[in-house]
Chain A
Amino acid sequence: MSTQHTPRRSLGSWLLIAAPFLWLLIFFLAPFFMVFKISLSEIAIAIPPYLPTFDLDGGWAALVDDLKSLSIENYLWLTEDDLYWKSYLSSVQIALISTLLTLLIGYPLAYGMARSPKAWRPTLLMLVILPFWTSFLIRVYAWVGILKNEGLLNQLLLWLGVIDEPLVIMNTNAAVFIGIVYSYLPFLVLPLYATLEKLDESLLEAAQDLGCPPWKTFWTITVPLSIPGVVAGCFLVFIPAVGEFVIPDLLGGSNTLMIGKTLWVEFFSNRDWPVSSAVAVILLLILVIPIVLFQNHQQKLSERA
């Protein structure tokens, strides 16, 4: 904004702020308190399946009793059963490896797009965005037919004579990596492309005129200047990938541990709402740091612009 005057607010502009603010308070923020509360409850055979349920008709004394019966038992349970911490650890690990792989494929793609003739760029950009509009579920499903033992990839490799017997990719972590890289590639390419495209080409020309070889120009000028885009893109892949459910469920195997899947099973199969709430609270705590870092990063970028 050019003029930073304190705006005098009319009733209308208060309403403008209040409507979306209230919606998000009720349907985004308040639910987190519910998750937290229920993570301190006990599982029960009832509807809803947890105790205590707050009943405001019982008056203050009843409410205090209810509060007293809250416990951290579910959290202790998460530390006792090693399924949970192993799931957290392997989620972070899978997300990290996938983010690196996405960067490995996404960087050359974004770089190639940014260096291509100006007339091509809108079309290339459109080509990156288009898969993003296609259903996530469908894109993951498409890989099932390719990766399974009798799938298209194995048929091709057998036909070419590269392998003698089918590779087992489906239901392994490798399939999960492929799924994540594939699904999140546009998230990394878009911010990276935006940074690379804005890069001042006269810097590169100056370096070349002074006799700097292309690979050195790339490492000493292009890469450092593209770091903000790399960081933004990596966060956009890493954070949602940690909590991913569909990809490990459809492509991963029984020994692919990811916390999103553990939470899903806990909730839908075991119907243990309190434990799945505790799982969600811890997942949120793990993700708070990268989310805050990401927001600060975005804020800095928008201030610089």
Chain B
Amino acid sequence: MKGPSWFNVTSMVFGFTFLYLPILLLVIFSFNESRLVTVWGGFSTKWYVELLENDQLLAAAWVTAKVAFISASIATVFGTMAAIVLARAGRFWGRSMFSGMIFAPLVMPEVILGLSLLLLFVAIDQSRGFWTVIIAHTTFAMCYVAVVVQSRLVGFDRSIEEAAEDLGCPPLKTFFLITLPIILPGVVAGWMLAFTLSLDDLVIASFTTGPGATTLPMKIYSQVRLGVTPEINAACTVLIAVVTGGVIAASIATKRRQSQHEADEFAAAG
């Protein structure tokens, strides 16, 4: 095959510029001296300093981090279980309903998910706050985890598992000693996806939260409605830096693991 044509290169340059330019501009203008966000007044980090003094914003960030951590962890457990069921359990009563409930939340509008969960919490007289947001986030995030882990389970060599079971290894032990290490990259990716989805969510949290559990996106949203401010740009930049750093670190880590794994296999075979 010949090299990429000018047309392909142009469309990629255009596509990626479109994807990245807005974020880049946002980051640049977070270092703007001027309060006018769209007029450059010189370099300054004063908005970051102001950010550190904004107690409300920091409190919201802390709540969000806790919610995201707990809900991502629960969602990873349930999502991995669901993925194994989808990939392995064969036929059982209610299977199509089960897979329907896994795939529907992926495309369901957030306003519906949020409203419906809120009405459930009200009906069972559950006071709303920190834990109701966690339940809501766990519910939709576990579906994403299930899809990510399932893709890892497809094309998985079951003979090793079968060998372990034939040698009398109990199923749970087989899972932790053999299955889990192999699907671990998928599980980690699922956890990270669940974490960022929760970190990011405005709509579902707005419906299901209560007093004392304002999340960062809710805080940002209420300020954004009043207009663009350099302080919010700075907050956004910090969030972007955290997420991007995490994703890149994770991808490097899994790549290293994978090449290590391949090297081990090669050594064993040789």
Report A's interface with B, CB cutoff 8 A.
Answer: 1-2, 4-7, 10, 12-13, 16-17, 19-21, 23-25, 27-32, 34-35, 38, 48, 53-54, 105-106, 108-109, 111-113, 115-117, 124, 126-128, 130-131, 133-139, 141-146, 148, 150-152, 155, 182, 185-186, 189, 201, 235-236, 239-240, 242-246, 250, 260, 263-264, 267-268, 273, 276-277, 280, 283-284, 287, 291, 294-295, 298, 305
Contact = CB atoms under 8 A, between A and B. Distances in A.
Contacts of A105: 14-15, 18
Nearest to A135: B200
A20 to B, nearest CB: 4
A21 B98 contact: yes
A116 B4 contact: yes
User: DSSP class of B's interface residues: helix, strand, loop or mixed?
Assistant: helix
A243 B112 contact: yes
A134 B172 contact: no
Contacts of B181: none
Contacts of A268: 206
Contacts of B15: 105-106, 108-109, 112, 185, 189
19 contacts: A2-B158, A13-B171, A16-B84, A16-B89, A23-B78, A30-B120, A31-B119, A111-B8, A117-B4, A135-B200, A135-B217, A135-B239, A135-B240, A137-B221, A145-B37, A182-B18, A235-B107, A243-B110, A263-B115
A225 B9 CA distance: 22
A155 to B, nearest CB: 7
A253 B251 CA distance: 40
A20 B85 contact: yes
Contacts of B81: 16, 19-20
Nearest to A237: B107
A259 B105 CA distance: 18
A34 B119 contact: yes
Q: Chain B interface residue count: which class?
A: 35 or more
Nearest to B9: A112
A105 B11 CA distance: 8
Contacts of B138: 23, 27
A54 B228 CA distance: 45
B243 A133 contact: yes
B107 A294 contact: yes
A144 B116 contact: no
A295 B100 contact: yes
Contacts of B136: 27
Given A7-B89, A31-B120, A242-B109, A139 B22 contact: yes
